[in-house]
Structure 1
Amino acid sequence: MGKRAIITLFGFLFILSGCQTVQSISEKEIQKDDVFSTDVDKDKQEKEEQDVVKEDAEQDNKKDRDTTVDSPVKKEDVEPKYRVSDNWSLQPLLEESNEKIVLLTIDDGPDKYSLEMAKTLKSLNAEAIFFVNGQFLTTDKGKEALRKIAEMGFEIGNHTYSHKALWWKEDGQRVEMPEEEQKEEIVRVNEMVAEITGEKPKYFRAPFGKNTDFSASFVKKQGMILMNWTYGYDWNKEYMNETAIADIMVNTKLLSNGANLLMHDREWTANALEEIVVGLREKEFEIADPSLIQMP
């Protein structure tokens, strides 16, 4: 082989070697770029996952905020809509207040059926005032029943300790319970209810609806509302059954706008209570919320 040929051969081999080296370097650079690109993709994916988690958390937090039940408005902060009139019915204070309302009240508890009646009303989303006798609050059972009734959101009224009449007739003459005894009948129940529920009663109803000048004045000084009723029937023998009491409470001629309905802790009334509420609503009467009654 000539000298020129040998030089040419070596030149060719050198160029070929250089190309392979360049190719090798390029492949390494590409591989390096691929690794870097993969790392970037992983970082990007991780960041995106973190962003998604963060976004999900924010959405969950927002959802929690959106679905969290607001703290109930204190009843003391609610603007009153009604007042108790001289005939014991409810009268609207505001133009937008519904006139076609009735007030449900239940006396003589918590005896055997008050808690059951409260549960029935709660299931129907119907408010009421439970006027209690102190004599039923001396046992753990009575205290627990009252506590549960109050915890369900029902207003508690004072119906005296012993349910004795504050006045009566003797030989045709009116006789009144001594004022100190009247005071004790009222104050004792206020204290018992406050100890059990944490809140003093806002309403007072005298046994048999028999108020005295002293009881009316004393209750007012206590910042309470004096209350009797428009109609009630469940103490009359002819209405001491579920069918009769349900019918008369809804269909009496005394049912009118603002009517103050009186019921008692009695088995027949407890059994008829749902039918009474449904019947009143079918006549388009709204069950009034006692917390919307104007205080003295």
Structure 2
Amino acid sequence: MNRKLVVLASLLLLAGCGADEQAPAEQPKGSAAEEQNDNKQHETEKEASSNTEQAETEAAAGLEGEAKEEAGQAVPQYRMKDDFSIQNIENPDEKVVLLTIDDAPDKYALEMANTLKDLNVKAIFFVNGHFIDTPEEGEVLKQIHQMGFSIGNHTYNHKTLKELTEEQQRKEIIDLNDRIEELTGERPQFFRAPFGMNTDYSKKLAAEEKMLLMNWTYGYDWEKNYQSKDALADIMVNTPLLRNGANLLMHDREWTSAALRDIVIGLEEKGYMIADPALIETPANQKTAAQ
């Protein structure tokens, strides 16, 4: 009986020794091995955190890009030069022109918008506030905007800004922006002063409102000799002033509306592309361009 107990005790002792040999030796506190393990764990955690932050940043950027795309925002392709012509940012030699229509929407703006839409080209309609005072007039502007055309500010009453006080200039510009936003949901990104005559104050207001200050390179439809369809179409296409980047000024007029189709076709036959104003760099979309 005593012999059995001795054997059993010996077997238990051997089993315990075997378990101790298989178990990893515990590292002393503060040892180099422990420090190495800690550093390795810290680097692993840091790398995981960095990867997580990068993934979150990329995901946020992707969502922001998708949001801009869904909102109809596009990276600008054109910029305006000091002479008010436009230029393709990546391809300066591209033959391109910009169409602009002032004093809208009087009597022919909607007809002109339909002509341009049928030709699949875009333009800026520069609006006077006194043409959108009534609900019916406002509906015309809404239709033009819903057709995809850019709406510009041409002041409320088309008065010479240099003859107005700063407060009067503010009302002419800001009140119109407010009215356009009320009708379309968007504030204009382009400003053109009546007769192309700006003041230091109007330039300041345009900058505050993030509007691109715009004049033109040529136009003819206010001259008596060109107040007919054929005469106007001919001069707009064959003028020596036509060049790469030209900024064409037209107005909401009967003869201009009649000539518009021939003007667009004539320009395209000469190899000019009609620029989409939504792709012009403005103070409002420069952040998008930088990204």
TM-score for the superposition, normalised by structure 2: 0.72
SS at match of 1:77: coil
* Cα pair 1:107 1:130 within 8 Å, conserved: yes
Q: Deviations over 1:12-33 (max 9, x none)?
A: xxxxxxxxxxxxxxxxxxxxxx
Per-residue deviation at 1:141? 2.2
Per-residue deviation at 1:92? 2.1
Query: How has the CA–CA distance of structure 1 residues 131 and 196 changed in structure 2, closer, same or farther, with 3 Å as cutoff?
Result: same
Q: Does 1:94 align with 2:90?
A: yes
Q: Does 1:105 align with 2:92?
A: no
Q: Does 1:215 align with 2:178?
A: no
Aligned to 1:140: 135
Aligned to 2:242: 255
* Cα pair 2:75 2:279 within 8 Å, conserved: yes
Per-residue deviation at 1:75? 6.6
The separation in 2 between residues aligned to 1:230 and 1:186, in whole angstroms, is: 23
Given the alignment, which residue of 269, 272, 280 partners 1:285? 272
Q: Deviations over 1:40-65 (max 9, x none)?
A: xxxxxxxxxxxxxxxxxxxxxxxxxx
Per-residue deviation at 1:157? 0.2
SS at match of 2:188: coil
CA RMSD for the aligned pairs? 1.6
Query: How has the CA–CA distance of structure 1 residues 209 and 254 changed in structure 2, closer, same or farther, with 3 Å as cutoff?
Result: same
SS at match of 1:262: strand
* Cα pair 1:82 1:90 within 8 Å, conserved: yes
Q: Deviations over 1:59-99 (max 9, x none)?
A: xxxxxxxxxxxx9945763111111111000022113x662
Partner amino acid, structure 1, of 2:185 = G
The separation in 1 between residues aligned to 2:69 and 2:248, in whole angstroms, is: 27
* Cα pair 1:89 1:259 within 8 Å, conserved: yes
* Cα pair 1:164 1:207 within 8 Å, conserved: yes
**Equivalent residues in 2 for 1:6-45 (5 A)?**
none
The separation in 2 between residues aligned to 1:98 and 1:73, in whole angstroms, is: 28
* Cα pair 2:93 2:244 within 8 Å, conserved: no
The separation in 1 between residues aligned to 2:70 and 2:159, in whole angstroms, is: 34
Aligned to 2:288: none
**Equivalent residues in 2 for 1:1-296 (5 A)?**
73-74=69-70, 77-95=73-91, 99-167=94-162, 176-296=163-283
The separation in 2 between residues aligned to 1:178 and 1:122, in whole angstroms, is: 39
The separation in 2 between residues aligned to 1:271 and 1:124, in whole angstroms, is: 14
The separation in 2 between residues aligned to 1:75 and 1:181, in whole angstroms, is: 34
Partner amino acid, structure 2, of 1:191 = D
SS at match of 2:240: coil
Unmatched 5+ stretches in structure 2: 1-66, 284-291
The separation in 2 between residues aligned to 1:188 and 1:99, in whole angstroms, is: 37
* Cα pair 2:99 2:249 within 8 Å, conserved: yes
* Cα pair 1:150 1:197 within 8 Å, conserved: yes
Aligned to 2:62: none
The separation in 1 between residues aligned to 2:205 and 2:109, in whole angstroms, is: 27
* Cα pair 1:75 1:291 within 8 Å, conserved: no
The separation in 1 between residues aligned to 2:160 and 2:70, in whole angstroms, is: 35
Partner amino acid, structure 2, of 1:229 = W
Q: Deviations over 1:131-183 (max 9, x none)?
A: 0000011112211110000000000000000001112xxxxxxxx41111111
Per-residue deviation at 1:105? 0.2
Partner amino acid, structure 2, of 1:111 = D
Per-residue deviation at 1:295? 1.4
Question: How many equivalent residue pairs?
Answer: 217
Query: How has the CA–CA distance of structure 1 residues 218 and 113 changed in structure 2, closer, same or farther, with 3 Å as cutoff?
Result: same
Unmatched 5+ stretches in structure 1: 1-70, 168-175
Aligned to 1:54: none
User: Greater Rg, structure 1 or structure 2?
Assistant: 1
TM-score for the superposition, normalised by structure 1: 0.71
SS at match of 2:126: strand
